[in-house]
Amino acid sequence: MVTKLGTPFSNSATKIMLCGSGELGKEVAIEFQRLGVEVIAVDSYKNAPAQQVADHAYVINMLNSQQLKDVINECNPDIIVPEIEAIATDALVEAEKNGHVIIPNSRAVSLTMNREGIRNLVADTLELNTSKYKFASTEQEFEKVIDEIGLPCVVKPIMSSSGKGQSIVKSSDDIKTSWEYAQSGGRAGAGRVIVEEFIHFDYEITLLTVRHKDGITFCKPIGHEQVDGDYIKSWQPHPMEDDLLDESKRIATKVVNNIEGHGVFGVELFIKDKKVYFSEISPRPHDTGLVTLITQDMSEFALHTRAILGLPIPEIKFHGPGASHVIKLEGHTENVSFSNFGALKNSSTQIRLFGKPGVSGKRRMGVAIALGDNIENAIHKELVEKHNHARSESNRVEKNLNKKVELLEGMRIDIINDDKFKVLQCLI
């Protein structure tokens, strides 16, 4: 546990190594640097977002154990903070044995980067509610498992992120396509998949759970919308009945206490017919939690760094209901520019551009965040007990927040297509 902070580039420096340097890692790096921490950003490509603000940058194959060990040995960081799922975990286990602190710990990283490990822990060991699930390693086994789970069902690589390789099998015609898509979307290449029962849930939330030296702190629940398994927009708070929120906190507490370690955990939960189901957990800040950059006095990134460094975490002050909406591009280019920022004329509206060096396919390039002007003052205080009313409140909040999101539609993204040498204009 770090309780003393030094000076960067000196013998007293506290050195943090980020394994993964995307947009979430960038915000974490900024928070560390505010506290005088020397930051080392490692990723598989050059000029990743966190590398642009870090003190040192390394480009390696994150799944190559020797390359990761070499960087760790060269930099000798006090703390190693994994920010992505696809990492050579054996190198982290060895680093932990050699005295480096792994956040939250090497076991947690191994468990959560692999859907098989975390699902078995939650369902079998902790005996918490999850959807029905089975695993498959071959296409033949995959077809058999789908028959056992039933249609519709959700298919995911056991290692993936941002919806890559994820699909819904609605009929037998989708089976082969779904298998091939899952094989192409795995973080470590083709391999084993999880097949989950499709739950027609009433809503889903991300419950940001902070495990720190003084206990566990929760952020207000975050609702979100996904397209093809990838987060598009989120809002906070998502209205919930008190008993369902309490149950969500109970589940999150049980899981993170088993995993142990300190930091922010993004716990994903489904709510259906007054029951809470565990879905997934990330032992790091969550993409839907970008909304906390505007809704809270301490964002999920600030909370993460405080918990990691063993610093106090007082009561989180909530500024009011807010929303986030990603700026997502599709195409192939290494030249991207942004213009027409009329949305910023509106109060309590901000834009974060991640600075990613290019696009190849679909990619999140930024996020817009906004506070609601006066959205149902104290929504949580006035929630009635009935579930249906809670859902109507949720819909009303989301509708109002969408008004803020609509402000962003005038923003233009100019993409210089290297092949055709022309400018394409895209609306968010």
Residues annotated as catalytic (active site), given as ranges: 161, 163, 268, 280, 287-288, 364
Instruction: Burial-class residue 347 by CB neighbours within 10 Å (0-12, 13-18, 19+).
Output: exposed
Q: Please state the φ and ψ torsions of residue 71, each to the nearest 5 degrees.
A: -65, -40
Can you give the C-alpha Rg of the chain in angstroms? 21
Q: Which of 39, 133, 135 lies closest to 80 in space, CA to CA?
A: 39
Buried b (16+ CB within 10 A) or exposed e, 285-324: bbbbbbbbbbbbebbbbbbbbbbbbebebeebebebbbbb
3-state secondary structure (DSSP) of residue 163: coil
CA distances from 137 to 119, 140, 424 (A): 16, 9, 42
Residues 6+ apart with CB under 8 A from 73: none
Asked if 370 and 349 count as a contact pair (C-beta separation under 8 A), the reply is yes
End-to-end, the C-alpha distance of the chain in Å comes to 43
Interacting residues of 2 by C-beta distance below 8 A, sequence separation 6+: 14, 78, 79, 101, 308, 309, 310
Can you tell me the distance from the alpha carbon of 378 to that of 376, in angstroms, rounded to the nearest whole number? 6
Q: How many CB atoms lie within 10 A of CB 356?
A: 20
Place of tokens 């720190």: 212
310 with 324: CB under 8 angstroms?
no
Q: How many residues does the chain have?
A: 428
Token pair recorded at residue 376: 């149902």
Residue 395 Cα to chain centre, angstroms: 23
Helix (H, G, I), strand (E, B) or coil at 49: helix
